[in-house]
Structure formats: structure tokens, C-alpha cells
């Protein structure tokens, strides 16, 4: 069923269709597991943003969380963050490349394989109980080169909104509470759809869970653009040490950040002192992090603080409606025109002054407007000339059922997992 995900970018046309597939049970894998790229890390950060605050993500896209679904299908409570698994990255990227090469768009790969087969072939062992889900999305343009960052952002919105998709399978996959690991594979190339050839961006996202300990995960980055969110433009710190030490047993678990800045560290339940740093960054220690059976996300931003998984208010959103849009710039322009440049000692009229101090220099001036305009341009982007098309597909399979579920059946219903989630408590002081 068609829907228009680029409604703010006429006259380019974006069409997408979705199909939810029931239970099934592969694809050839790359020989050596590869780290996620910056763009793949960015896609995972978008997904984890949605999982951290499902209702806020729905509001960002102007829908209700359970739009198109029975009331209560998706709980508004936080879902555990997903940790990257290199084998799943390989599986996802390989499938994206195969679809580009073969000019097909489907979950079934060579020889009739399915996502679980591809995960196994890539080296991801499915220790029972296990479950696998997959979302596919693509968008392409003619007569010009695609803009991967812009398209990735748009496809995330399209997958979450699932407009005109009967079962909203992509949204339920993205927000399924049981998933703990993920692989994102983003590939660009020439893709033939119908009678047209597109310069396309193809995205495969594989979701999975299996028996084992939970993950401490996150991203280490420098927020160059000041948008309080990871951007795939060199912000990530590579090869930064992450070390978790149990004060009670002395056990040490450690890893290093990927080239994208992300990291995944699987550790048993317990209390840990976590140190991040070395190399390009001074070490920062976070005390008494409690790990349970659910993943915990800690991001190290600008090397000045570890912050628990959160989605702080975006300072570019001056009208506080959950979206970055031209109106945010108009709010500042109106305030400047009416009251001019001022220090923060002068109360603003429209809303709290901290909303206006975008560059956080304790002064309201045109300097606060420029980053908002830049953020709006980033959010809205520009669609290259020519026709545009795309699509999405969702898939769920699990080891728990012998019977084939109805298409679009909710992942949580299949697994019988409680919708309640207790995130690991974070104690102690943040370093100054």
C-alpha cells in the first residue's frame, strides 16, 4: 500500500509498501565480521531513541504510539537499548548488497533462506530461547546521487510511522521489548524497480535475542554540531577503552569502541564501576552501575560526562513540540525582532529563556538563530532532482512457536514476555 514519507519535499514522490511475514526459518555471510559504519551506528541510535521514549518518538512524527494498532499493543515504557553484534551487521549488510545486486526487495534470500539462516551463516549462534526480526527499507532517486544521511533519517521515520500498513509490523519490530541485539546493513547502489533504475540506499535491520547475559552498550562521541545526538560525520571516537570492574569480586570486563564510536560489552548481572577513556580521551569513571537481565546504555559525550541512556530535550526545538521544523527558527526571529539582543537577565515573553539560549553562552542574539536554521536544514534536507521511490518490509520469527503466527502478530505476544521493564538503576555521582 503506498504512502508518502516525503510529504514536505514536493514535487519529488516517495512511495513505499510493506508486507509482514510470519514464521520462517538464511544468506551467505561475509568471511570476516565487520564493524558498523557511522551511518549504521546513526540508524541504531535512531532506533534506540525510539526505544528509550516510545511516546516521544511517536509525537515527533505526529502519530499516537498505538496508531493503527489495538490500544495497549505497544507499552509506553522504555524498551531496553539494542547492542550491535558484528555477525548481525554482516548478515544485514550482505542481504542489503544481495538485494541491490539482484534488483529484488524481499526477506527470502538465495536458496530460500530467511533471516535466522542468514544470522547463523554469519556466525550468530541461536541459543534457545531465541528470536529474530527483520525490517527492510529502501529509497532511491533518478538522475542524481542519493543523500544517504537524509534518506536514512527519512526511512527511519517511514518504518516507525508505517502509514497504511495494516499491522504496523515495522514499528512493533522496532519496539519489541525482547530484542537485545541488532545489526544494521546500509548499502548504496543502482537498483532497478519496475521499469526505472534508481540510485538507491538499501537498509536491512536485523533484530535478535538469545540466551545469555545482558549488554552494556552506548556510543562515545564528540557532539560537534551541538544537537545532543550522535551524527555520522566523524563525531565517534575510535578505540576508546570501556572497562567494567566488579567491586565485590574484582572481575574485569572490557572492550574498545568501534570506528563509529559505538561499543557493546556483555557482562553478568551485578554492580560495576565503569571507566571509559584512554587514547584521545581522559578517563571518566561511573560508579555503582547495576546490571540486571536487560541492556543498559551509557554514552560518553564530549569527554566531559557519562550520561545514562536518555533523550534530553533538544535545544533546537524552541517551540517544544517534539520536532525540529521551520517554526522553531520563526520563534527566535520573532523574539529577536520584538525585544532584540539581551542577556539572560531579561525575562523572555514567549517561553523560558533557556529555550532561546541555543548556543548556551548566557546571551540571546542572532548567534542562537544560526544553529537552529542549520538544524532545520539538516532535518528537512533537500531531495535531489528526479523521481524517487522506496519501500519497507518486516519479518518476525521465533524458536518459541511451532505454528505459523498470523501475519503481523506482535512479537511480545508470541514470546509471552511481560511488557514491564525495569531498567538497571544508576547510582553514584556523575564526574564533573
The predicted pLDDT at position 397 comes to 55
Residue 419: pLDDT band by 50, 70, 90 thresholds? very low
Q: What angle do CA 170, 176, 182 make, to 5 degrees?
A: 80
The predicted pLDDT at position 396 comes to 59
Beta strand pairing status for 20-21 and 388-398?
parallel
Report the distance separating Cα 157 and Cα 155, nearest Å. 5
The predicted pLDDT at position 395 comes to 60
Residue 225: pLDDT band by 50, 70, 90 thresholds? confident
User: Which conformational region is residue 359 in: left (phi greater than 0), alpha (psi within -120 to 50 degrees), or beta?
Assistant: alpha
Q: What is the mean pLDDT of residues 403-423?
A: 23
The predicted pLDDT at position 157 comes to 94
pLDDT tens by residue, 264-294:
999 999 999 999 987 767 788 888 899 999 9
Residue 287: name the closest of 338, 246, 233, 228 by CA.
246
Of the ranges 128-142, 245-259, 405-419, which one carries the lowest mean pLDDT score? Answer: 405-419
Sign of CA dihedral 215, 44, 134, 259: negative
Residue 394: pLDDT band by 50, 70, 90 thresholds? low
Q: Order across the sheet with 281-291: list the strands.
A: 252-256, 241-245, 270-278, 281-291
Mean of the per-residue pLDDT values of the chain: 76
Burial 214-247 (b: 16+ CB within 10 A, else e): bbbbbbbbbeeebbebbbbeebbbeebbbbbebe
pLDDT, greater one: 321 or 3: 321
pTM of the predicted structure, to 2 decimals? 0.70
Report the distance separating Cα 272 and Cα 333, nearest Å. 48
Of the ranges 88-92, 364-368, 381-385, which one carries the lowest mean pLDDT score? Answer: 381-385
Hey, what's the cell of 9? 519535499
Residue 410: pLDDT band by 50, 70, 90 thresholds? very low
The predicted pLDDT at position 169 comes to 93
The predicted pLDDT at position 228 comes to 83
For the cut 60, the answer to whether the pLDDT of residue 420 exceeds it is no
pLDDT, greater one: 406 or 91: 91
Which residues neighbour 46 within 8 Å (Cβ) at sequence distance 6 or greater?
152, 153, 156
Q: Are 350 and 335 in contact (CB under 8 A)?
A: yes
The predicted pLDDT at position 352 comes to 45
The predicted pLDDT at position 388 comes to 67
What is the SS3 assignment for 344? coil
pLDDT tens by residue, 232-261:
989 999 999 999 999 999 999 999 999 999
For the cut 70, the answer to whether the pLDDT of residue 9 exceeds it is no
Residue 378: pLDDT band by 50, 70, 90 thresholds? low
pLDDT tens by residue, 40-51:
999 999 999 999
Q: Are 298 and 308 in contact (CB under 8 A)?
A: yes
Residue 322: pLDDT band by 50, 70, 90 thresholds? low
The predicted pLDDT at position 418 comes to 20
pLDDT tens by residue, 160-182:
999 888 899 999 999 999 999 99
Report the distance separating Cα 312 and Cα 314, nearest Å. 6
Q: Are 203 and 136 in contact (CB under 8 A)?
A: yes
Residue 225: name the closest of 53, 115, 409, 375 by CA.
375
The predicted pLDDT at position 272 comes to 95
Residue 34: pLDDT band by 50, 70, 90 thresholds? confident
Of the ranges 2-6, 17-21, 222-226, 274-278, which one carries the lowest mean pLDDT score? Answer: 2-6
The predicted pLDDT at position 123 comes to 96
Q: Are 2 and 85 in contact (CB under 8 A)?
A: no
The predicted pLDDT at position 387 comes to 64
Q: Are 214 and 126 in contact (CB under 8 A)?
A: no
What is the SS3 assignment for 58? helix
Q: What is the mean pLDDT of residues 59-73?
A: 95
Amino acid at each position: 500500500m503506498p504512502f508518502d514519507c516525503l510529504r514536505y519535499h514536493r514535487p519529488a514522490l516517495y512511495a513505499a509498501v510493506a508486507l509482514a511475514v510470519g514464521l520462517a526459518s538464511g544468506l551467505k555471510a561475509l568471511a570476516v565480521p565487520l564493524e558498523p559504519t557511522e551511518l549504521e551506528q546513526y540508524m541504531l541510535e535512531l532506533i534506540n531513541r525510539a526505544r528509550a521514549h516510545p511516546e516521544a518518538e511517536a509525537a515527533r512524527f505526529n502519530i499516537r504510539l498505538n496508531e493503527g494498532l489495538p490500544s495497549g499493543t505497544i507499552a509506553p515504557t522504555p524498551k531496553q537499548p539494542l547492542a550491535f553484534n558484528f555477525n548481525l551487521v554482516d548478515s544485514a549488510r550482505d542481504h542489503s548488497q544481495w538485494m541491490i545486486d539482484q534488483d529484488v526487495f524481499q526477506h527470502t534470500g538465495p536458496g530460500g533462506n530467511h533471516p535466522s539462516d542468514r544470522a547463523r551463516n554469519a556466525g550468530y549462534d541461536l541459543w534457545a530461547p531465541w528470536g529474530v526480526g527483520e525490517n527492510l527499507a529502501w529509497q532511491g532517486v533518478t538522475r542524481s546521487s542519493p543523500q544517504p544521511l537524509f534518506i536514512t533519517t527519512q526511512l527511519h521515520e517511514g518504518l516507525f510511522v508505517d502509514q497504511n500498513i495494516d499491522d504496523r509490523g515495522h514499528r512493533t519490530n522496532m519496539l519489541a521489548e525482547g530484542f537485545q541485539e541488532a545489526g544494521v546493513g546500509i548499502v548504496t547502489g543502482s537498483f532497478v524497480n519496475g521499469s526505472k533504475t534508481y540510485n538507491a540506499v538499501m537498509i536491512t535491520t536485523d533484530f535478535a535475542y538469545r540466551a545469555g547475559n545482558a549488554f552494556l552498550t552506548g556510543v562515545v562521541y564528540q557532539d560537534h554540531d551541538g544537537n545532543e545526538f550522535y551524527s555520522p560525520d566523524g563525531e565517534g571516537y575510535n578505540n576508546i577503552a570501556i572497562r567494567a570492574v566488579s567491586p565485590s569480586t574484582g572481575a574485569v570486563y572490557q572492550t574498545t569502541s568501534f570506528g563509529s564510536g559505538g561499543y557493546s560489552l556483555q557482562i553478568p548481572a551485578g554492580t560495576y564501576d565503569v571507566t571509559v577513556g584512554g587514547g584521545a580521551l581522559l578517563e571518566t569513571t561511573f560508579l555503582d552501575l547495576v546490571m540486571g537481565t536487560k541492556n543498559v546504555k551509557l554514552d560518553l559525550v564530549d569527554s566531559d560526562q557519562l550520561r545514562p541512556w536518555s533523550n534530553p530535550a533538544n535545544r533546537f526545538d524552541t517551540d517544544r513540540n517534539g520536532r525540529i521544523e521551520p517554526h522553531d527558527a520563526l520563534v527566535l526571529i520573532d523574539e529577536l525582532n520584538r525585544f532584540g539582543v539581551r542577556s539572560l537577565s531579561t525575562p523572555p515573553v514567549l517561553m523560558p529563556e533557556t529555550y532561546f539560549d541555543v548556543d548556551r553562552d548566557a546571551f540571546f542574539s542572532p548567534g542562537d538563530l544560526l544553529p537552529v536554521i542549520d538544524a532545520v536544514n539538516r532535518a528537512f534536507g533537500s531531495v535531489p532532482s528526479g523521481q524517487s521511490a522506496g519501500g519497507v518490509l518486516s519479518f518476525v520469527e521465533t524458536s518459541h512457536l511451532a505454528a505459523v503466527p498470523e501475519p503481523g502478530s506482535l512479537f511480545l505476544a508470541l514470546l509471552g514476555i511481560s511488557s514491564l521493564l525495569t531498567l538497571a538503576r544508576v547510582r553514584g555521582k556523575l564526574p564533573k
